[in-house]
Structure 1
């Protein structure tokens, strides 16, 4: 069974799948030994190479860092992180780009909304933000904080006004400090390792389809060790039902 797993999976992910999907009583140490014996250690890629720089452009107003790397939360829709990442397709001599702008709830890691576009415009970030707002119940009882880097989209008047209208706190990483938004960087790394770095996409349609399929898989089917084998969607939905 173990040979069918994605080469990017670590031994904890494999262990959870064997326990939840195959109903096997197996220790993670044994899974580790089996993976080592079969040369199935997770591969590591350099995500920083070719990273999109969202700080280039007209500067707006920056916000303070409210999270301070406190990525833990015990309730949904309290702490949300966002960023923009670049994905390329086409031939080696003519590489085209699309940009992914997701919003991730730090409770369970579920992707609440996202857009995939040719250009990383503020309007597309606002479209993803609206998806988040649509999932927030009116009687939530506490305010949401959305954290990002200092990209021009997040400094824009339109984005800041949208947050203010919805009574959402804005938080930003310090300049040039990727660790302040490590929770979002971690999602991009997982996504690119599992569906991007190991494949070549000749067309935009093929790339976008693969991206959307993977995000759906991540939300609805990808069991996580930190969630006791639950998927992000199931874990998040269960918590939200207890609140509202």
Structure 2
């Protein structure tokens, strides 16, 4: 397929989300890397959106009303960014200045130091002076060999706990601390977290419903619960969930690569039509550019059995695979992903608008792909796992 045809595969939803992130103050290079698009392409979308000529495959150019809506969304996102700094730092906001400095250092690649200092009520000069006295804001090998005090360790634990929104228990907290160059034992971390009441958010059961009462063709189960993959783009899985907002339901479809559990495609819409899952698949296919033969596994929902999704799979030369009727264990990795999302960010939250829910979901998926460590991946993030795999392949070939 020609490069020009591939370029047209980006959905308007995807482009507008990318532009909105840039206009909200996110660094374009970082945004491009997170979304998996060339930086020059993202800059082009920003220019086209300003002119009102941004469009997706078969779409009309964005109207003036849509441009104004995008501008307002960008402004809301900027306000949300400042609010999120306060909210994410709420666990350290009432703590000592060393805890605040530790939290700012951990999040310095996400938010500028000056903005974070301002939100947490500390001076920028004070932060840099503190880091100068330490020698660096990144743990050195020499520092990793030095035993950290209980007070300093607690500051790091609280900062990480706030950063990951209480998702980590003591085993992952210990792995995260070691990965950041802090020499500490598991028992010490467990004991300190217990003494100070620092614990992971509890898991809950979530009901997942699928409309499988239809007469559409059903694909065979090619996985048979074998969820292992030896390389990227061998097996993808997809599913749909829904999120309650005051405006109504927001439906989310994702595509995961079973090799490293990475979210490679997604779509969020106020409906559950076939285009929801097709847009998620289209995003994944364009971003990953897989060779023919990828297995795409899903449940038997009408969206996945329908002509639109099946035609896309045929066009992409992918193999359709489906779970047995009413058996969520046949798609366990994706069900587990929903649990992490809902416990990590959605449980107990109230969203006034779909936009608020979308912002939270995108923020979490970015964290999930790039920074959330997985025990099944050897306590590294999906992106780091794949990066290490590619490095190993290059070493073998050399």
TM-score, L = length of structure 2 = 0.55
Does 2:386 correspond to 1:236? yes
Q: Distance in 2 between matches of 1:55 and 1:132?
A: 24
1:18 alignment partner in structure 2: 177
For residues 21-51 of structure 1, give each alpha carbon's deviation from its aligned partner in whole angstroms, at most 9, with x where no partner exists. 3x122333443333333333433343324x3
Distance verdict in 2 for CA 1:75–1:123, change over 3 Å: same
Structure having the higher helix fraction is 2
Q: Which has the larger radius of gyration?
A: 2
Question: Structure 2 stretches of 5 or more lacking a match?
Answer: 1-155
Does 2:306 correspond to 1:156? yes
State how 1:29-68 maps to structure 2 within 5 Å. 29-49=187-207, 51=208, 53-55=209-211, 58-68=214-224
Structure number with greater CO (CA < 8 Å, separation at least 6) is: 1
For residues 132-166 of structure 1, give each alpha carbon's deviation from its aligned partner in whole angstroms, at most 9, with x where no partner exists. 2113346x4x6211111111111112211221222
Q: What SS does structure 1 have at the residue aligned with 2:259?
A: coil
Question: Structure 1 stretches of 5 or more lacking a match?
Answer: none
The one of 154, 165, 176 aligned to 2:326: 176
**Number of residue pairs aligned between Structure 1 and Structure 2:** 235
- Cα shift at 1:240: 5.2
Structure having the higher strand fraction is 1
Q: Distance in 1 between matches of 2:341 and 2:248?
A: 19
Q: Distance in 1 between matches of 2:298 and 2:282?
A: 16
Q: What SS does structure 2 have at the residue aligned with 1:158?
A: helix
The one of 157, 165, 180 aligned to 1:2: 157
2:377 alignment partner in structure 1: 227
Instruction: Supply the RMSD in Å over aligned alpha carbons.
Output: 2.3
2:263 alignment partner in structure 1: 111
Distance verdict in 2 for CA 1:137–1:97, change over 3 Å: closer
